[in-house]
Structure formats: structure tokens, C-alpha cells
Amino acid sequence: MSEEQTAQAIEKMSYEEALTALEDIVRQMETGKVKLDEAIDYYERGMLLRRHCEQKLSAARLKIDQITASLNGQAIGFTPRCYGEE
């Protein structure tokens, strides 16, 4: 799989899927039994996964920041969205 294809596949992952894939890479690397070429490939994929996770967390943080409670308990600063919109 090319680097572009890998990046596109990662882009489609949920946060949880990407985090699990990243954890798998870490476990493989920690064994010390990975050849140099594999280690480089793992590292590149790991960096893409890390960046994807950070972007997902940043988007979630932004959504949470938009939901702030007013004095009377009603949500303000929230823009309703239809289910399934990105």
C-alpha cells in the first residue's frame, strides 16, 4: 500500500480504530524483533495515526467548548447538526 493509500485509509478510521492500530504498532516495536525496514514503515504509519488521533481529539475538544451552559442551564454556543454530518 502506498503512503497516500495508507493516509487515506487512516483518514477513514475512527479515533478508537486509529488508537488501537497505534497501540499495535507500539507493541510490535517494543518486541525488538522488527527489522529496520519494517521499523521505518511502522514509524511512518504511527506518525500518521498519531496525527489523525490528535485531529480527532482536537475536533472533539472544539465541540465540547462550543457547548457551554448559560446561567439558566440552557446550552448556548451549540450549533445543532444532523446525525451523520461530518
| Range of the structural domain that residue 69 is part of | 3-76
Is there a domain that residue 33 lies in? yes
Cα–Cα separations (whole angstroms), residue 86 to 26, 60, 64, 65, 66: 30, 12, 15, 17, 16
Is there a domain that residue 83 lies in? no
Q: pTM of this prediction?
A: 0.73
Is there a domain that residue 81 lies in? no
Is there a domain that residue 35 lies in? yes
Is there a domain that residue 84 lies in? no
> How far apart are alpha carbons 1 and 47 in whole angstroms?
16
Is there a domain that residue 82 lies in? no
pLDDT digits (tens, 9 = 90+) for 21-45: 999 999 999 999 999 999 999 999 9
Residue 19 has, within 13 A of its CA and on its CB side, a CA count of 8
For the cut 90, the answer to whether the pLDDT of residue 58 exceeds it is yes
For the cut 70, the answer to whether the pLDDT of residue 76 exceeds it is no
Number of domains in the chain: 1
Higher pLDDT, 40 or 72: 40
In the chain, the amino acid numbered 37 is D
Query: What CATH number does the domain containing 19 carry?
Result: 1.10.287
